[in-house]
């Protein structure tokens, strides 16, 4: 009997775990805040504060590290990017102007680039650490 299906499970988990965590982290940091702040000049800001977005990014480092340190680079990148894209689409889809898709696209492209770079750095550092341990 072939062992191939068993090898697929870790790869699938490397995508699903970061995706589900990205959805949950979005809900925890950003999903509850839907209120826009009106400034004295009448302009609106928000709904998110900088500390919320920073918290989201820092929290997402954990699932990216988890997947990238196991050399599932695609899982880290696709999982987090997919989770954030779905969360942004769901959260912003009630916008009647249709411009929410621009924001969703920016979230998708930004998270794709950032998780790609972070995953490559993590995997590279992990590979160097493993090779130096083997030499000792």
Closest CA to 86 of 6, 19, 17, 10: 19
Position 58 in a domain: yes
Average pLDDT over residues 80-100: 92
Furthest CA-CA distance within the chain:
71
Position 69 in a domain: yes
Position 108 in a domain: yes
Residue 45: helix, strand or coil by DSSP?
strand
Strand partners of residue 44:
38
pLDDT of res. 2 = 56
Position 118 in a domain: yes
pLDDT of res. 118 = 96
Please tell me which residue, 51 or 39, carries the higher pLDDT value: 51
Q: Is the pLDDT of residue 78 over 90?
A: yes
Position 8 in a domain: no
Please tell me which residue, 113 or 7, carries the higher pLDDT value: 113
pLDDT of res. 136 = 64
Position 5 in a domain: no
Q: Is the pLDDT of residue 122 over 90?
A: yes
Give the count of domains, the chain: 1
pLDDT of res. 5 = 64
Residue 113 structural domain? 15-33+41-135
Angle at the Cα of 21 from the Cα atoms of 82 and 88, rounded to 5 degrees: 45
Position 10 in a domain: no
- The tokens for 130 are 């493993």
The pTM score is: 0.85
pLDDT of res. 3 = 58
CB 82 within 8 A of CB 14: no
């Amino acid at each position: 009997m072939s062992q191939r299906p068993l090898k697929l499970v870790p790869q699938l988990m490397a995508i699903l775990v970061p995706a589900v965590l990205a959805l949950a982290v979005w809900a925890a940091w950003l999903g509850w805040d839907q209120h826009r702040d009106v400034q004295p000049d009448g302009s609106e800001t928000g709904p998110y504060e900088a500390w919320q977005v920073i918290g989201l990014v820092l929290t997402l480092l954990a699932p990216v590290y988890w997947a990238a340190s196991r050399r599932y680079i695609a899982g880290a990148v696709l999982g987090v990017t997919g989770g954030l894209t779905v969360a942004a689409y769901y959260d912003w889809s009630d916008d009647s102007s249709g411009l929410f898709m621009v924001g969703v696209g920016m979230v998708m492209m930004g998270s794709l680039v950032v998780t790609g770079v972070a995953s490559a750095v993590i995997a590279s550092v992990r590979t160097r650490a493993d090779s130096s341990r083997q030499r000792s």
